[in-house]
Amino acid sequence: MHYKCMAFTTLTVRHDVAQKLKAAKAAGESYSDTLERLLENQPAKSVGEWLASLAPLEGRGILSVEERARLKRDQDRPRRSPRRRRAAP
């Protein structure tokens, strides 16, 4: 997204940092948008919020639609841990 009459600042970064930024950049996203997204990224307050934050990454090899559905289902209905049986004396 480009804005007319916006002030610009040139940043100098190391080559390795530029490569990481390029890898984090989504298709059609400007470097300004990428930096803004990365800098605004705050820790999720709940599993649901975390799952919602993963939606833009869907299909990029991180989580499949099925995996996200399973995580959401597990959040709604947590599994009970099996009870440990006491060893026979």
- Domain segments of the chain as ranges: 31-76
Q: At what angle do helices 47-54 and 65-76 cross, to 10 degrees?
A: 170
Q: pLDDT tens across 72-83, in order?
A: 888 877 666 666
Q: pLDDT tens across 20-58, in order?
A: 999 999 889 998 898 888 888 677 788 888 888 777 776
Q: State pTM to two decimals.
A: 0.40
pLDDT band at residue 88, thresholds of 50, 70 and 90? low
pLDDT for the residue numbered 41? 66
